[in-house]
Structure 1
Amino acid sequence: MTELELKYGCNPNQKPARIFMESGELPIKVLNGKPGYINFLDAFNSWQLVKELKEATGLPSAASFKHVSPAGAAVGTELTDVERKIYFAEGMELSPIASAYVRARGADRLCSYGDWAALSDVCDEQTARYLALEVSDGVIAPGYTEKALEILKGKRKGGYNVVEIDPAYVPKHIEHKDVFGVTFEQGRNDFKIDEALLGNIVTENKDLPQQAKRDMLLALITLKYTQSNSVCYVKDGQAIGVGAGQQSRIHCTRLAGNKADNWLLRQHPKTLALQFVPGIRRPDRDNAIDVYLSDEYMDVLADGVWQQTFAVKPEVLTAEEKREWIAKQSGVTVGSDAFFPFGDNVERARKSGVQYIVQPGGSIRDDHVIDTCNKYGIVMAFTGMRLFHH
């Protein structure tokens, strides 16, 4: 049996704590730092996500995890000038795997604060340099270049968590966990998600372009490793809103949709024109942008505290301007880990530019959900496979 002793479990009072295998070697090496219990939960879940996402798309993949759910996930495609600006990556050299992480982190930069990063490919210098600029707890990858490891070892006063995983490792088919002293056993969810899963298009509109298929795969694989109930909005190979752990499906759809709207609004000309005080930290910029896009900004103006963040008084982005900007958006995909029980989920999703939906189907109200999609010309595929994760 091999094991790694941990400082404590989920909370400081939960001792002793360790990770171990009853037979064989642990599939990881800690190259730097001292990862904790939650760090390893994030690491193992996020690694599975990016490994499967690369297998499904053929593209370098990355994820940004917080509390055992992804704040974002993405494949490594080239960033636009606007994306570079809103992700604070202007002027940086970005390899495909670096681009994947920048985009994963950019899905919800507020929630990615202090994240665990996962990379499908070897971590190179460009990825390490971007990670070094962000507030992050650690990273898992199948390997690290010498320069990347040198950079990461200098992060957080030398305490940054760097974990290398054996990409050939295959876990046992049966998995266990204890709750309240009772052991639960189940078969591991090794269900393969690929394009063959997308063939059952149930709506009148059956035009499903290749890019939308890729986005559906990204949504489904992200959901497979998101605490349920969960809904995921995706655009151009990047998650732009993840709603995790809600008891109601519509609340998942609203939560993820509101995050997607914020991502879209970060690209509004007024948001792009924001001028910050010199030397402002990246997290403070993220917080300021979040406040600017919220109703709280009027209070900031009224209290006269905007000078603490902005070099020039920002012009108000009105509620009407927000609605108009979001209404212009299109090409967004939504995935759900279980069926939509009512058409209200479709109504909410389409307000954020959703044109494609992928979900298991199987509700007694499937006809109503399909009719709602048909009303807006939305393409919807039924997979027949639930993706709960607890």
Structure 2
Amino acid sequence: GPSMVRSAAKNQDAVAVVTDPADYELLRAELDGNEGKLSLKTRRMLARKAFRMTAWYDHAIAEYLAHLEDNADEPAGNRLLALKDGAKLRYGENPHQDAAFYAMGRHKAGLGGLQQISGKELSYNNLLDLDAAMRTASEISDEPYAIVIKHTNPCGAATGSSIAEAFARSYDCDPLSAFGGIVGLNRSFDLATAEQLIAGEKFIEAVVAPGFDSDAVEALVEKSKKKWRKSIRLVKATPVHSAHPQIQYRSVNGGMLAQSNDDRRIEPGECKVVTSNVPDDRVMKELLFSWALCKHYKSNAICITNHKALLGYGAGQTSRVDATEHALMRAGDKAKGAVLASDAFFPFPDSIEKAAAAGIVAVIQPGGSVRDEAVIEACNEHSISMVFTGMRH
């Protein structure tokens, strides 16, 4: 058991402990070439692997026991991160950076349990975008939903009567930005969706979906003479769903930050209408669609949607009014009659004034600014309905 492995590893000066069959050939070669002896360097390498294996074993037991309790995944307290199956990537975010991908935890879902159906090897940037696409697409489950991601930000998002229609509408949101993007689907990739890609020569890097129909893969990849279509990465993966909150980690210089995932969803009954105009059922559904999408942009973020399709977005701006202007510019004339979502409160009514001039009819935002009353007053002046969610992203 683990006690014997640890004991042997502690005696590395005199003992070689072998825990990985992948090392057999290396050890045989060294024994054959060194009169049946292993160097101290090799014994220490073997001991290091042995301690990592027993640490992983102990961690798995601790995690199992922790998940029997309701507070298993609170971020605070001493924690061990068990990263397994490290796979070296070609390079990191940039070519001069080394990189690897590690599976984390006991889950077989998420990118740790992905199955690559076809295409070139996945890069560091591919994995970041695939994660963003999978998370965003999983926000909606009751109807087909497709996402196009570029640099972790959605540049296309739409529902449809079928996943093929959802993809077509999503790609058409911003075809220029969608070129070379990553597609996320909440339904299996089928032949009709493959035909949408083929007919329009829509160049994309990868697709992540919960499944891939064999005839779709055959039509898109196996029968194709196009080099880019043979290289397209088709990735089968589904998000991790757990009864316990998932913990999100981020490294900083000299430490690690931990927080629970931002996975809480707003129900219609939780929204508070704060304006004279009250959104009807269709507009409220549109607002909730826009809100679920806005969450996945870098703040300051604004997104504009109508008929459950993205029209414009402003992401990563240093002021909310700049984000609003970017979103309205992208939406153009389509902003008339559309709704607008903001990932945090409006500090001033200036964004509302610009939205009103473009024809926005409803706004969803967290609320909580010291100038909420001024923002509400601006909405009332322009007959815009607005709801507060009481939470931000």
Q: Which amino acid is the alignment partner of residue 273 of structure 2? A: I
Tell me how many residue pairs correspond in the alignment: 299
Shift of 1:209: 1.9
Structure-1 separation of matches of 2:386 and 2:331: 19
1: CA distance between counterparts of 2:130 and 2:363?
29
Contact 2:88 2:101 in 1 (8 A): yes
1:243 pairs with 2:314: yes
- Supply the AA of the counterpart residue of 2:262: N
Residues 229, 252 of structure 1: 8 Å contact kept = yes
Amino acid at match of 2:304: Y
Provide the C-alpha distance between the structure 2 equivalents of 1:127 and 1:181, rounded to a whole number of angstroms. 46
Query: Shift of residue 23 of structure 1?
Result: 4.2
- The alignment status of 1:67 with 2:151, answered yes or no, reads yes
Instruction: State yes or no: 1:258 paired with 2:329.
Output: yes
Q: Which residue of 2 aligns with 1:138?
A: 206
C-alpha distance 172-159 of structure 1, shift in aligned 2 (>3 A): farther
Cα contact 1:175–1:188 (8 A) shared by 2: yes
Question: Contact conserved, 2:86 with 2:100, CA < 8 A, in 1?
Answer: no
CA deviations 1:298-319 (Å, max 9, x no partner) are xxxxxxxxxxxxxxxxxxxxxx
Residue 273 of structure 1 corresponds to which residue in structure 2? Answer: none
Scaled by the length of structure 1, what TM-score is found? 0.73
TM-score (norm 2): 0.72
Partner of 2:219: 151
Distance in 2 separating the partners of 1:22 and 1:51 = 20
Residues 152 and 160, structure 1, Cα contact 8 Å, conserved in 2? no
Match of 1:106 among 159, 164, 172: 172
| 1: CA distance, partners of 2:245 / 2:387 | 31
Shift in alpha-carbon separation, 1:24–1:167, aligned structure 2, 3 A: closer
What does residue 28 of structure 1 align with? 114
Query: What's the CA shift string for 1:222-253, capped at 9, x where partnerless?
Result: 11111111000011111101111111000000
1:81-230 mapped onto 2 (5 Å cutoff): 96-132=162-198, 133-153=201-221, 154=224, 156=228, 158-166=230-238, 169-170=241-242, 173-198=246-271, 200-206=272-278, 208-230=279-301
Q: Is 2:99–2:124's contact at 8 Å kept on the other side of the alignment?
A: no
Aligned to 1:47: 134
Larger Rg computed on CA atoms: 2
Call closer, same or farther: CA 1:181–1:98 in 2, change over 3 Å.
farther
What are the superposed Cα offsets for residues 325-350 of structure 1, whole Å, 9 maximum, x if unpaired?
A: xxxx6321000000011111011112
**Match in the other structure for 2:95:** 12
Unaligned runs of 5+ in 2: 1-83
> Aligned in 2, Cα 1:3/1:194: closer, same or farther, shift over 3 Å?
farther
Q: Tell me, in whole angstroms, the C-alpha distance in 1 between the residues paired with 2:284 and 2:197.
A: 30
- Please identify, of 356-365 and 144-153, the stretch whose mean Cα deviation from structure 2 is larger: 144-153
**Shift, 1:256, TM fit:** 0.6
Contact persistence 1:66–1:112 (CA under 8 A): yes
Structure 1 position 382 matched with structure 2 position 385: no
Structure 1 residues 152, 197: CA separation in 2 closer, same or farther (over 3 Å shift)?
farther
Residue 3 of structure 1 deviates from its aligned partner by 3.8
Q: Compared with structure 1, are the counterparts of its residues 354 and 148 closer, same or farther at alpha carbon in structure 2 (3 Å cutoff)?
A: same
- Post-superposition offset of 1:22: 4.9
Q: Secondary structure at the match of 1:367?
A: helix
Instruction: Supply the distance in 1 between the matched residues of 2:290 and 2:347 (Cα, whole angstroms).
Output: 19
Higher relative contact order (CA 8 A, sep 6+): 1
**What letter is aligned with 2:277?**
N
